[in-house]
């Protein structure tokens, strides 16, 4: 299989990135970030989540964020909805897409949501059913696909099984997340190949963390399989909670720079993307973790 000519980037910074911030990011800054990302050409943006503010206070204003965004034809904002209450809030906000999360690690599932993988998936079924009944797209995520902070190795068969169940449940796509960023290219490729062989390449997306600096290499290994949907986070927003001081999500700027160099079309302006990353980084009081963003800033200052 050859590399795809076009890659669809799912921007996760406004949700997966900002929810890991220790403080609350102002509403206006969130809205400006998302608008900037859309201006840069990103068509799929995680805008927030409808979860209990007790557990994720950073996402408590998701409804207000969505209400402040101007409608853009062809741009889809996705929100995380782990339960029916969250889905009802998402429906009231008028979103077109929601997401549910599963884990490939039993230990991770028990530690994080206090139930087994099977129980967690059963909880999601009514959410997916109602979302689809209301005409919404549902995206599925699988965490810990290449390793778990609690149990270590994660069986590949379990990753495939959870992905299959999310598809059978009604998800249109499954994003495979290396939650702690321990994956290396051959392992990433084998994992994505096994899942794609079961649910199909068109339904397979990848989501790598850059904790050990392997994010881009892992993406490239999966591109060579034909995987054409990749998650990334502007400015590298979102640290890795299991590796103190380590970077987390793969930076969208780094991903776009690599894809541009490969001649792979993304529809994303690197300059506008980097500008959005710098703006939110200024709000957070730190430099982007993206190496490309830093290089562009240094070049502009020279």
Which residues have a catalytic role annotated? Answer: 240
Instruction: Count how many Cα atoms sit within 13 Å of the Cα of residue 91 in the half-sphere of its side chain.
Output: 15
Instruction: Report residue 17 as tokens.
Output: 């990135």
Q: What is the DSSP string of 154-206?
A: --HHHHHHHHHHHHHHT-SEEEEEETT----HHHHHHHHHHHHHHH-GGGEEE
Give the alpha-carbon dihedral of 32, 37, 41, 47, to 10 degrees.
Answer: -100
Q: What is the DSSP letter of 96?
A: S
Would you mind telling me the total number of residues written for the chain in this entry?
Answer: 302
Quick one: residue 180, left, alpha or beta (phi over 0 = left, psi -120 to 50 = alpha)?
alpha
Nearest to 228 by CA among 208, 201, 251: 201
Instruction: Report residue 297 as tokens.
Output: 């800033």
- Residues 6 or more apart in contact with residue 92 via CB below 8 angstroms: 63
């Amino acid at each position: 299989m050859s590399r795809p000519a076009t890659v669809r980037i799912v921007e996760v910074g406004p949700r997966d990135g900002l929810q890991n911030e220790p403080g609350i990011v102002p509403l206006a800054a969130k809205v400006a970030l998302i608008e900037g990302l859309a201006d840069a050409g990103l068509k799929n943006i995680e805008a927030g989540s409808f979860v209990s503010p007790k557990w994720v206070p950073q996402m408590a204003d998701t409804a207000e964020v969505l209400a402040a965004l101007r409608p853009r034809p062809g741009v889809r904002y996705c929100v995380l909805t782990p339960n029916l209450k969250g889905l009802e809030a998402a429906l009231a906000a008028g979103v077109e897409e929601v997401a549910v999360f599963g884990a490939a690690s039993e230990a991770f599932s028990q530690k994080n949501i206090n139930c087994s993988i099977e129980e967690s998936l059963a909880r999601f079924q009514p959410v997916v059913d109602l979302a689809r009944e209301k005409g919404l797209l549902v995206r599925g995520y699988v965490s810990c696909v290449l390793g778990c902070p609690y149990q270590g190795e994660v069986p590949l068969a379990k990753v495939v099984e959870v992905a299959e169940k999310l598809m059978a449940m009604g998800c249109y796509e499954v994003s495979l997340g290396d939650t702690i960023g321990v994956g290396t290219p051959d392992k990433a490729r084998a994992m994505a190949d096994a899942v794609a062989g079961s649910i199909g390449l068109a339904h397979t997306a990848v989501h790598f963390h850059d904790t050990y600096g392997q994010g881009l290499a892992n993406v490239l290994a999966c591109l060579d399989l034909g995987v054409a949907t990749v998650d990334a986070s502007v400015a590298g927003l979102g640290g890795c909670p299991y590796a103190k001081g380590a970077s987390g999500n793969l930076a969208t700027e780094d991903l776009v720079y690599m894809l541009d160099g490969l001649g792979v079309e993304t529809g994303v302006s690197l300059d506008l993307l980097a500008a959005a990353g710098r703006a939110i980084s200024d709000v957070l009081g730190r430099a982007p973790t993206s190496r490309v963003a830093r290089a562009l800033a240094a070049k502009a200052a020279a």
